[in-house]
Amino acid sequence: MLGIDPGLTRCGVGIVDVDRARRGTLVHVGVIRSAPDAEIGERLAVVAAGIREAIAVHRPDAVAVERVFAQQNSHTVMGTAQASGVALLIAAESGLPAATHTPSEVKAAVTGYGSADKRQVQAMIARILRLDAPPQPADAADALAIALCHAWRRGTPGVQAGAGGLTPAQRAWADAERVARTYLRSGS
């Protein structure tokens, strides 16, 4: 599973394997960087080349991208949206299913709390993936969190939500999904 935290200056790329018990293992993590003073086309080309390389080398089975959300700085939103579009296009060109997840969905999936801060996400990623230290910078940890969120959300074959061996964050996510399904069925 390839997770992408889109951005022009720093685009986080994280790849994880998730086993039948929903345990994640780090495959690759990195940050694609482009020069802030380069032309937009050049910056997008750098992001595209980095994503293509990650797909070619690691052969993920799906791509998840953080969904762009409104911010005060429209320039930042525009660059993030453009990088997101490039990521989704490359997934399609590569024949990979792709999805987007909001920042609060991702935070809830890995920490159990949709308003967690960057340090909390980094700490949980280190714990979930059994790393010696939290991934740096935050863009790298965010990409891994997006990958895990999508892997857990789409389900792992043969694993039932609430099955033994889930982390507390995974249990909280499964519980939240059950509540949401119940809410949607009731029409409330």
Burial class (CB in 10 A: 0-12, 13-18, 19+), 93: exposed
CA distance 27 to 41: 29
**Active-site residue identified among 66, 93, 117, 177:** 66
DSSP state of 132: S
Parallel/antiparallel/unpaired status of strands 63-66 and 24-33: unpaired
Per the annotation, the verdict on 19 as an active-site residue is no
Alpha helical stretches, state H, 59-117 = 74-93, 103-111
**Active-site residue identified among 37, 105, 139, 142:** 139
CA distance 54 to 2: 8
**Active-site residue identified among 5, 37, 93, 175:** 5
CA distance 149 to 100: 10
Identity of residue 152 = W
Q: Which residues are marked as active site?
A: 5, 66, 139
